[in-house]
Amino acid sequence: MRADARKNRDHLLAVAGTAISEQGVEVSLRDIARRADVGLATLLRHFPTREALLDALLRTSFDQLTAKAGELETSSSPEDALVSWLRDCVAWTTEYRGATVLMAAAIEDPESALHASCVTLRAAGARLLTRAQDAGLARDDIDGTDVFALVAMLAWLGDQPSLAPRADHLFGVVANAILTSAGEDGP
């Protein structure tokens, strides 16, 4: 890809990220193009569908969260790694309003452009959970699918204006419910 085309694509992704964090994943493509100061045709030339745009935007974040899980596996205790990764995932999914709905759908749809990234992200969380379970630090009656669902649930709480102030407290409650060794004050 030419340098100017790469610059334009990166600019469109940055603008789309901001728009999605403000308005959610259903933000109008026309609005994204207007914010980026380009025509809709230019946006569609780079990203022919909404899913292609979301795939490019979200895949980068999924890959970063997956890499973070790998780093935490080697640099933190099993308990700290799992809680830190959960916190990062919840923060990310709260930032990109509506992403959890896309993620849940993509996991179930092998034809989705986001499927592989979502499956990989869920597997990264499952590895952290299994590591904590093997160390006797996490409940053994949950799996990676449950962790993925808990991230979605906690992100939804953060997106509800009346519940957002309770999101950190409830994160601690959920983390304590997952971990078998957490103290009364929580992680």
**Domain boundaries along the sequence of the chain:** 1-48, 49-178
CATH 1.10.357.10 applies to domain 49-178: yes
The answer to whether 1-48 and 49-178 have equal CATH topology is no
Q: Which amino acid is at 145?
A: T
* pTM, rounded to two decimals: 0.81
In the predicted model, what is the mean pLDDT of the chain?
89
CB 86 within 8 A of CB 147: yes
Model confidence at 13: pLDDT above 70: yes
- Note the Cα 141 to chain centre separation in Å: 23
**How many H helices and E strands in the chain?**
9, 0
CA pseudo-torsion sign 147, 152, 157, 158: positive
Could you please state the CATH topology (level 3) that the domain comprising 1-48 is classified under.
Arc Repressor Mutant, subunit A (1.10.10)
pLDDT at 181: 67
